[in-house]
Chain A
């Protein structure tokens, strides 16, 4: 079953179209990697799917319901069902990690007793193995810890889909692998749908069930990761299958 279905979607900024007339589906309870070279529109597409950037044309459905950017209720419904892990975490610097994770809970359910909020925050931080750092401020955390903390914040309200914008960027291979393992655990344990924007080939290899490849303002490939190996497309072979490319990336 597909949780997101995009039809003839055109995204961009103002009059500038970054991706034009693309259609694809993102299956539920799987990890879909959105990949492409720098500037191919990965993050722009993610912003549109996350309700931050209105499409210039076409549209998409979330769980069978069209997302209407002109309707506040439609966007509120979308925001209530997704979590987003931003490239640098985007934790609020004025709040501790605990307060950051508690923020969505307190904003959506201000009448919840503090003890319940505390348990929810602890559960979120425990999922990402960060319970010990709850009282630290974001500036005291390393890059990897900030991302895991931000993931805890994205997960605290049990979203149906988590969008991750380049989760491995700027991380060493070991931290990057730990983050990938965490994403896999979320999928397997909590049956979560994850959409991961990345160009880290090792990360794609480790976590992706499906791949959406963007190039030249359009969709180059959308399908299972396993099908990539059979592709005869020169660009796809260069991007994914050249051994040297793997080594360079590493």
Chain B
């Protein structure tokens, strides 16, 4: 790099203080920068007696990286320390060259959005690949009954079904109560009180029970499965399985997928009952509708098809949750903090997928 030669600074050398550590360096740097921009300056170290690594790095920075600054009268001890430091090839980090932005602002924005979109698509592709692998593993397991730990499916059924049952029933009961109360006033205006039974029954069986059960499974089962698998990955248990010749994607995921497939119908049935019961209780209190009249009216509108489609949707949501949990848990990095991050991401991914799949079902079914 060449330029016009600068004149020597008329103010004379800058003498560094006796104690020159990080705090003192911070104090002198602005002046060095200001004066060296205008002229050649000499930084005099003759009085320096107390120094540390930051002083050595500062000296390196002056002599190697700052043009227009000359170090003078460096004490022997500091020079020796600097020489030792200089033997390390990485002592002076190269500054990253600034990358000038190219293209217009809109172009860069679109490029960034396209990059993010492609990253999401790649993620979705990997997720779908895992989904396909799991279908293959389940098929293989059902045919050969090999590669899964005996009893694990029961354990998972107990955890996913029995442990989720109280919260699912409670929340769906409350959803039934809420939807009755919020629609009661409108129906009363038209004298259509009895149609609350149709509304609650249809909404519960077709939409609210599958969706709410899916979301509860994402929060409860999905988070727990991700945390467990991610911890196993971090603690090398997944690697250990692999080197034992066990396929972790089969050994860990197949019992969970079979369990969710078996427990979801029971959960949905219970949740349907709880939700409709919530509607019945509210209708009795608000409109004085007898439970028998409520059920008669509801059964005029809903039938087994509604229950079956609700069931099918919830099973698909359950699969989306468990595969999402496995995907995040088995692809986690190697640090403990990533376990928490993967768990959060798994819940977000599961809920997003549930809503997307629900939307697709809505187009197909209505």
Contact = CB atoms under 8 A, between A and B. Distances in A.
A107 B246 contact: yes
Contacts of A69: none
B242 A79 contact: yes
Interface string A86-108: 11101111010000000110111
Given A88-B235, A92-B237, A51 B246 contact: no
Contact of A103 (B149, B242, B243): B149
Interface class of chain B by DSSP: loop
A83 B147 CA distance: 18
B251 A88 contact: no
Given A79-B243, A86-B239, A107-B245, 10 more contacts: A52-B239, A79-B244, A79-B245, A86-B236, A88-B235, A92-B232, A95-B149, A107-B149, A153-B240, A153-B244
Given A50-B243, A79-B244, A80-B245, A107 B147 contact: yes
A201 to B, nearest CB: 25
A91 B245 CA distance: 15
A79 B248 CA distance: 13
Interface residues of A, number: 26
A76 B147 CA distance: 13
14 contacts: A52-B239, A79-B245, A80-B245, A84-B240, A86-B239, A86-B240, A90-B235, A92-B232, A92-B237, A104-B245, A107-B147, A107-B251, A110-B146, A150-B240
A76 B250 CA distance: 15
B133 to A, nearest CB: 12
Contact of A82 (B241, B243, B246, B251): B243
B259 to A, nearest CB: 14
Interface of A: 47, 50-52, 76, 79-80, 82-84, 86-88, 90-93, 95, 103-104, 106-108, 110, 150, 153
Interface residues of B, number: 18
A51 B147 contact: no
A68 to B, nearest CB: 16
A51 B239 CA distance: 10
A222 B11 CA distance: 61
Nearest to A72: B247
B142 to A, nearest CB: 14
A104 B244 contact: yes
B61 interface: no
A86 B243 CA distance: 11
Interface string B117-159: 0000000000000000000000000000111011000000000
A87 B242 CA distance: 16
The 4 closest A-B pairs by CB, nearest first: A90-B240, A79-B245, A90-B236, A104-B244
A103 B150 CA distance: 10
